[in-house]
Structure 1
Amino acid sequence: MENENDSHTKFCQKCGKKILADATFCPYCGAAQGTLNNQATATASTTTEQAQPQGQAPVQPQAQKRSVGAFVTWGWITTVIGLFIPVVAIAGIVLGSLTVTRKHTGAGVTLIVFACIALYLGLTGFGQGFFSAL
């Protein structure tokens, strides 16, 4: 009975969720699906299911999203700290670069620009001026 159901399903090429074999777009993420014939799709979905535990989608896209989120979060934290301790802003620049290499260009470039500004302000005495105003 499972084999009959497998011939009507495949995995989304982008998010990895199980979808109908004749679907041209994934109902979960909206990604366009390649045009493979039903026999090749059924074989690919059966092979993928055997390689993974049943009921689990591939983990690579979700793991990459999590690592990019961590890069961005820690990048902003180090950028703000870099206003007071300029050397720490360099970590924000590095984390922004790692974000760009993970194909999140907008977030990475924005982080790099603000980390450079924080480094400059930190080197010119922003922290001293901030604390003397308190």
Structure 2
Amino acid sequence: MGYMTTLTILNDGFSQIQKYPKEFINKISEGMDGFNRFGLSGRNNINDYGIGNHANVLQVAQSHHADDPRMFVAYGNSLNFIGWGNDSTNLEHRKQMLKLAKQMVKREEEEIKRLENQQTKSDSQ
């Protein structure tokens, strides 16, 4: 297994990515290494970057080993990391993202049960 990188792109700034593709690639590379938008002054698990004249079109999570599970919530024009390694110090924001994640997991559990029931009914026919 190798390493992997998670990123999000804000669609309203995509024209800037098309206009400045080299800057886009360079910003992904910086984010993969965990460097913040101001260079080597700090390393974060998630950094946001401007491209062209769009202030925050790209969010990049620092690369991690493919065997290291990560959970993200893409919400509010940002990529939010949940779980160990989260370097956010904003406690209220972390609570809000965890609440959303729990709601999403609960909804997925309900959908899996529905599909299992549907499959059981079709298998018995």
Q: TM-score, normalised by structure 2?
A: 0.29
Greater percentage in helix:
1
Q: Larger relative CO (CA 8 A, sep 6+): 1 or 2? A: 2
Larger Rg computed on CA atoms: 1
